[in-house]
Amino acid sequence: MKKKTLLSWSSGKDSAWALHVLRQQPDTEVVGLFCTINQKFGRVAMHAIRAELVRMQAKNIGLPIQLIPIPHPCRDAEYAAIMKRFVTKAKKQGIERLAFGDIFLEDIRRYREANLAGSGIIPLFPLWGMPTTKLSQEMVSGGLRAIVTCVDPKRLPADFAGEEYGEAFLKRIPAHIDPCGENGEFHTFAFAGPMFKKPVNIVIGETVSRDGFLFTDLTPDA
């Protein structure tokens, strides 16, 4: 029997590709997405994506999404309590697995596993251990399209903000930058690909500097 699974949705390429991979696994049924939203700004943390766009992604994918509001600022204990309530509710609704798009950061994986320990829900990491050079090429050649919405200017030149994640991007990034941005060099918004029934139409706005990062604003294209 297929295991009912919820996927952690960041709005970016890795969670989008994780969905694509999960849908090809015969023992997995992805029944929905979940995403934490900064309650003060109404956006996905770090990706800086408006909640409205996240809802559009879910609609165009064809899955329900649960937006989990997180206060700003938020203490670690408060965040853990919010997520524990979410996990408890998910278990009561028959969810058997929570899936994540993490690739190689061991500390993040251990954190997720510890938070789910004893809950009766199994953590799943469909992209885990994949070489990121190969994975990035697989995403692009597989039709995934995304916009770079956040850049750490200490690691990546500012002009990468707002650029499409594709062959040209991968050829142009410095050799020391992980091509999937797994170390936090950049974050993305996925707007088309095999996991979508139809693309999310967006307008690329201005790029602003905030809290040491560069964020490119995206809005829905009416």
**Last residue in a domain, options 71, 105, 124:** 124
Give pTM, 2 decimals. 0.96
* Mean pLDDT confidence for 192-216: 97
* Mean pLDDT confidence for 148-170: 97
Please, which residues bridge with residue 122 across strands? 97
* Mean pLDDT confidence for 141-167: 97
210 pLDDT more than 90:
yes
Using DSSP bridges, classify how beta strands 97-99 and 164-165 pair: parallel, antiparallel or unpaired: unpaired
pLDDT band at 46 (very low <50, low <70, confident <90, very high): confident
Average predicted confidence (pLDDT) for the chain: 96
Same domain, 104 and 7: yes
Query: What range does the domain containing 193 cover?
Result: 132-220
The region that residue 118 occupies, defined by phi over 0 for left and psi between -120 and 50 for alpha, beta otherwise, is: left
Report the pLDDT value the prediction gives residue 18, as an integer from 0 to 100: 98
Same domain, 104 and 198: no
Report the pLDDT value the prediction gives residue 45, as an integer from 0 to 100: 82
Same domain, 118 and 8: yes
